[in-house]
Chains A and B, each alone.
Chain A
Amino acid sequence: MLTRRVIPCLDVKNGRNVRGVRFSADVDAGDPVELAARYDREGADELVFYDITASAEGRNIMVDLVERVASQVFIPLSVGGGVRTIDDMYLMLRSGAEKVSINSAAHRDPDLIRACADRFGSQCVVLSIDALRDPESDPPRWTIYLNGGRVRTELDAVETAQRGQDLGAGEIVLNSIDADGTREGYDVEFLRAVTESVSIPVVASGGAGSLEHLRDAVTLGNAHAVLAASIFHFEVYSVREAKEFMAASGIPMRLDPYR
């Protein structure tokens, strides 16, 4: 049976891993290569590296970082942040990333999703969505923001997820800006709205603070995978503890990284 995945996310700035709180404050959380190796030993199913500078310099740091991690850690690696072109994507895949997520550029120009999927295959194209819940709307509606949450669009997140699937995205990472870094839990209602609308895997992101949150994203939100940063970086919980807790709740998990 296909297991659900636990994915530690490493926000990388200047080659160091940092933590974001609602897309802002920086706290140094260690060397990304060391952290990646630790997570692998604890049984992480995948690792995500997010370039929060999203500059040309950031891209070069990322390529170097992914190459170093990929020669030591043999699980899927994903890279995101500042990917604007097919060439950016190619560079990341060549450096050892399995998947590349595109965010702002894909929302400005959805054809980029199709172009990347045609060239490299849907399996490595991840559509990343940052959205804020509209406070007034009923039924609930989530609006997409670009550039790390700084630029509002008129795009509806659920519709954009569906269109992303149609254009060839192989996976969706759903990040709730409201919940990001708060440790108050994923926006389960948002997850459910999207997982009910698409048939590709959806990864929950933003807000994990407890093991119950990870469980709820799967059991209530039907997420295929849960992505979390700070609860793992600061050793609030180990990846192994998280997976054991989820397994005890009846979720199929890969518990032993040695088998």
Chain B
Amino acid sequence: MIAVVDYGAGNIHSVARALKRVGAAFDVTAEPAAVAAADAVILPGVGAAADTMRGLRYARVDDPVVAAIARGVPYLGICMGLQVLFDRSEEDDDTPCLGVLPGDVVRFPEGLEVPHMGWNQVRQVEDSPLFAGVPQDANFYFVHSYFARPSDPARVSGTTDYGLEFTSVVRRDHLYATQFHPEKSGLVGLRIYANFIRLAGQTPAPEFD
């Protein structure tokens, strides 16, 4: 079963709707044991880093999420679910994060309009099963003011140009995370969810298979 971690993130219903649309079997759960034992984990997220980390700790799902990733089960992080994987974020006067991936999260520099809000292209820099059937430079929906800087360039799976080129998709083995919101990115976004549930051993609904 796929665990969609419910720690108070605002976009959890949108993520659940998208999963339902592609035919996924999943549980929306705040149970630490269920997260730790899941076959796959989805961490949604929207908003601020400190709130997200507080929500994860308060629900006591921070360690189970890290443990599930360490066990090697497929993981999909969305927006804040990408950012909190890193060591720290400079948001909210420096917020320590989960430290799964080396690197930090920083704000877009002065002079760029913030938030980066709208549809922008993702350049796939590797062949990733998460992007199977997704055209190169497809448009996805973004809303964020901070972006991740992985220390290890091998973690960069996709990039996006917003005056500067930033990492919009990261990957390590079965860990995947997107800065954009696939649940708000139309058909290409649904394709991402279909690909992920296939990685989790499920068969997507016929029109997404």
Known: A124-B10, A225-B118. A76 touches B135 (CB 8 A): no
The listed residue with most A CB atoms (<10 A of its CB), out of B10, B118, B185, is B118
A54-80 contacts to B (CB < 8 Å): 70-71, 74-76
Establish whether residues B138 and A201, one from each chain, have CB atoms under 8 Å apart when the complex forms: no
Partner of A200, one of B46, B115, B189: B115
Docked CA distance A49–B21 (Å)? 22
**How many A residues face the partner with a CB closer than 8 A?**
32
A93 to B14, CA, bound (A): 10
Q: With contacts A3-B120, A98-B14, A124-B10 known, is A74 near B185, CB below 8 A?
A: yes
A259 within 8 A of B: yes
Within B1-34, the residues touching A (CB, 8 Å) are: 10-11, 13-14, 17-18, 20-21
Stretch at the interface among A115-123, A138-146, A183-191: A115-123
The residues in B between 88 and 120 inclusive whose CB is less than 8 angstroms from any CB of A are 113-120
How many residues of B are counted as interface, with CB atoms below 8 angstroms from the partner's CB atoms?
40
User: Would you call B154 an interface residue if the criterion is a C-beta within 8 Å of the partner chain's C-beta atoms?
Assistant: no
- CB within 8 Å of B: which of A123-173? 123-124, 170-171
Chain A interface mostly helix, strand, loop or mixed?
loop
Q: Which of A1-44 contact B (CB under 8 A)?
A: 1-5, 40
Decide if B118 touches A45 in the complex (CB within 8 Å).
Answer: yes
Which one of A71, A74, A259 has the highest number of Cβ atoms from chain B below 10 Å of its Cβ?
A: A74
Q: Are A254 and B139 in contact (CB under 8 A)?
A: yes
Q: Quick check: B115 and A122 within 8 Å, CB to CB?
A: yes
Most chain A Cβ neighbours within 10 Å, of B46, B121, B143, B186: B186
Which B residues lie at the A interface, using CB under 8 A?
10-11, 13-14, 17-18, 20-21, 46-48, 51, 113-121, 134-135, 138-139, 141-145, 161-162, 183-190
Given contacts A5-B119, A75-B186, 20 further A-B pairs with CB under 8 A are A2-B118, A2-B162, A3-B120, A3-B139, A4-B118, A5-B118, A74-B185, A76-B184, A96-B14, A98-B184, A121-B10, A121-B47, A123-B117, A124-B46, A170-B143, A200-B114, A224-B118, A257-B186, A257-B187, A258-B188
